[in-house]
Chain A
Amino acid sequence: MQQYDRIRFVTEYFASLQGLRLLPFWLFSALVNAAVLLQVDSIGIIVFGLLGVVIAFFVVQPLFDRYYRERFGSVESKASRAQVVLGAFLVLCILIDLFIRLPVSMTAMGIAVFTFYLAWGSRGLLPHYAVFGAIMPVTSMLVAGVEADIQINVVMLVVSILSLISGVLDHVALTRLMPSVKEDHYVESI
């Protein structure tokens, strides 16, 4: 049964397990948020951030897409109702942070719920998301009461760093869950 649970999980979360795809984006996000917090020249940050996003999305991500497609294959996923609901909840949390000033960061709390759901859904295969989920409420409380702009930057810096680590761990999990198959020199007949 565990073997079949693993197969079901990998198929359902195949896109999420391709952790290297968003690494460049999170790397630039971490650098830009760190630069803002350290009050480095703002025009330079904007140019650097934009260049980073362009390179991440149009150069590096297609290369990783191709790597995953050629090494692990392709899946067209079914829409997950739970993920849609959690996504909507996360957007609501971000909107609360933008328009209603609360002492704690709701975005951080929303991300915590999302990552705990991932850890629970993986049935122990992705335990790092439980750690990710535990760090976010702590971050949310640590930035309680500070200026809204700084609060967002701190939360985004923490999210970026944790996403970088999670991306690498997701990729490691994928290679462990989908080992390469020894070939039998058979010509595909379908």
Chain B
Amino acid sequence: MSSPFEEMAGLDRLIHEPARLAILTALSAAKKADFLFLQRVTGLTKGNLSTHLTKLEEGALVEIHKEFVGKKPVTWVKLTPSGQTAIDQHWLQLQRLRESAEHWQPSNDEA
């Protein structure tokens, strides 16, 4: 049986990276959010946010579309159905890991 720490190493890095986890967590609490909101709520710079969103879009976790409000372009981001499932599962997995880590005792082999 693997220890919680071995399981932790096996977490999906596309989701578990702190900035991307912040983006996905925000998106999981709304139908969709725009680029400026995500930037303000996560504290990421435009460049960092843009890079992480591109990775999440490539992983089919988010959908991005642009529209114009007057003359201003607005970039909307929302979770895909698989992105929603992935982030929900990820938080459940983290919760389970936290609980098992709290009760974890090193075995004789490991000690």
| Residue total for A at the interface (Cβ-Cβ under 8 A) | 28
Q: Nearest Cβ distance between residue A178 and chain B, in whole angstroms?
A: 4
Fill in one digit per residue for A31-67: 1 if any B CB lies within 8 Å of its CB, else 0. 0000000000000000000000000000000000000
Q: Does A189 contact B (CB under 8 A)?
A: yes
Report A-chain residues with C-beta under 8 Å of the C-beta of B80: none
Report A-chain residues with C-beta under 8 Å of the C-beta of B104: none
Report A-chain residues with C-beta under 8 Å of the C-beta of B44: 181
Q: Does B96 contact A (CB under 8 A)?
A: no
CB–CB B22/A73 < 8 A: no
CB–CB A8/B28 < 8 A: yes
CA distance A116 to B23 in the complex (A): 29
CA distance A188 to B52 in the complex (A): 12
A4/B40 contact (C-beta < 8 A), A74-B74, A186-B45 known: no
Q: Does B15 contact A (CB under 8 A)?
A: no
Q: Does B8 contact A (CB under 8 A)?
A: no
Report B-chain residues with C-beta under 8 Å of the C-beta of A188: 35, 46, 50, 75
- For chain A, residues 69 to 95, give those with C-beta under 8 angstroms from any C-beta of chain B: 70, 72-78
Q: Does B86 contact A (CB under 8 A)?
A: no
CB–CB B33/A74 < 8 A: yes
CB–CB A11/B45 < 8 A: no
Q: Which of A11, A72, A179 contacts B30 (CB 8 A)?
A: A11
CA distance A10 to B27 in the complex (A): 11
Q: Does B111 contact A (CB under 8 A)?
A: no
A75/B46 contact (C-beta < 8 A), A4-B25, A188-B75 known: no
Q: Does B13 contact A (CB under 8 A)?
A: no
A7/B22 contact (C-beta < 8 A), A73-B35, A181-B45, A184-B47 known: yes
Q: Which of A10, A12, A182, A189 contacts B45 (CB 8 A)?
A: A182
Q: Does A183 contact B (CB under 8 A)?
A: yes
CB–CB B39/A181 < 8 A: yes
Fill in one digit per residue for B42-54: 1 if any A CB lies within 8 Å of its CB, else 0. 1111111010011
CA distance A28 to B41 in the complex (A): 32
Q: Nearest Cβ distance between residue B52 and chain A, in whole angstroms?
A: 11
Q: Does A14 contact B (CB under 8 A)?
A: yes
Give the 4 A-B CB pairs with smallest separation, nearest first. A73-B37, A186-B47, A73-B36, A11-B29
27 contacts across the A-B interface (CB closer than 8 A): A3-B22, A7-B41, A8-B29, A11-B26, A11-B30, A11-B33, A11-B41, A12-B29, A12-B30, A14-B37, A72-B37, A73-B36, A73-B39, A75-B32, A76-B30, A76-B32, A181-B39, A181-B45, A181-B46, A182-B45, A184-B46, A184-B48, A186-B45, A188-B50, A189-B50, A190-B35, A190-B64
